[in-house]
Amino acid sequence: MADGRGAREVGDRELAALLADEALMEMRSVARRARVSADGDAPAEAVVRLGEAADFCRDMLLVSRSSSRRPFRSTPSRRQRAMAKRPMSYRWQTYGPERRAWILDHVERAGLRWTPPPPLPTPRKGPPTLGLRQRLAMLAGWPVRTPPGRRRLPRRARVLKAVDSGTLRALYEEAEHRRLGLGKGGAWLDTHLMSDATHFLFPDPADYYWPDPDAGRPWWQCRVLLRMVDGEQVNGLLAVMPETYVALPSTVPRPRQHLIARTARLTERDTYLWGRDHKAGCGPGTCGYRSPVEERLFPLLPDPQDGPDQD
């Protein structure tokens, strides 16, 4: 981090715009080097670097375009408040040492000063407690508010649906099959969902994922409240086509829909954090999950819980 006395201090949004431009320059440089390679083909390493730079560029564009004055569409969580104050918080916390060093190096080379954000609040485990303010907010209508300049979600999207584990897996499979970009379940989800639990979902798109068929977003970004195999409820995101969502039966009473929707929005742990904490104890002998690598290397191994064959 640059510490020159004459260096100008920049905020997260201004820095993100600068870094997005630097990432584009890096992509152009990698592409040029790949074109002049001896065999005329882009090596695999260049493809990986281009993908990483593109993802980083998109992250920075989202940060740079975030509004510091936009009101929350519902009561914000601790993490939401922290990220509104320092929009680089989540990215800085999830980037590895190499990417962090890259950011600080570009700050210094630009002759600027920037203070990295503090760690985000540790997500609370378990269901959130709805205070008086949150319960009174249920009287104000559906919690998903329309961003400025956007068209309101249709009435059929302002409904929460309850689904069983089989239906939820099918929704994830459809999202993956259609390559909608949000929703990757597979064997991992199949193993770690509580099989006999009820899960909930409702359209709750972020501003930058607000439905817009003309922009290539005909689907609805849904917030999912999943019950995992250990009983914990966590957040998830899933892209669902409107016709698929509308076809799901609506069985939850309206007042309870409001309560569950607000509970889901305030639930701080998601499937990523749950999976990270579960990883150390994950395996055929515990939860029954076998990774794709294990399936390929040891396709004939019996489940350790089955014990030896008996004559």
pLDDT tens readout for residues 211-245: 988 878 899 999 999 999 999 999 999 999 999 99
Enumerate residues 6+ apart whose C-beta is below 8 A from 102.
none
Domain limits of the chain?
8-113, 132-143+153-281
With cut-offs at 50, 70 and 90, classify the pLDDT of residue 1: very low
Averaged pLDDT, 186-206? 90
Of 29-38, 149-158, 246-255, 285-294, the poorest mean pLDDT is in 285-294
With cut-offs at 50, 70 and 90, classify the pLDDT of residue 47: confident
In the prediction, which pLDDT does 290 show? 64
Averaged pLDDT, 181-190? 79
Would you state the torsion angle of the CA atoms of residues 99, 100, 105, 106, taken in this order, to the nearest 10 degrees? Answer: 70
In the prediction, which pLDDT does 181 show? 77
What is the Cα–Cα distance from 189 to 168, expressed in whole angstroms? 10
Enumerate residues 6+ apart whose C-beta is below 8 A from 245.
156, 157, 161, 203, 220, 222
How does pLDDT run across 151-164, given as a tens digit for each residue?
Answer: 899 999 999 999 99
Looking up tokens 């990270």 gives 276
In the prediction, which pLDDT does 302 show? 44
Averaged pLDDT, 272-277? 86
Of 17-26, 137-146, 194-203, the poorest mean pLDDT is in 137-146
In the prediction, which pLDDT does 305 show? 43
In the prediction, which pLDDT does 72 show? 53
Averaged pLDDT, 83-98? 90
Contacts 24+ apart (CB under 8 A), 252-255: 252/160, 252/161, 252/162, 252/200, 255/138
How does pLDDT run across 280-306, given as a tens digit for each residue?
Answer: 888 777 776 766 544 444 444 444 444
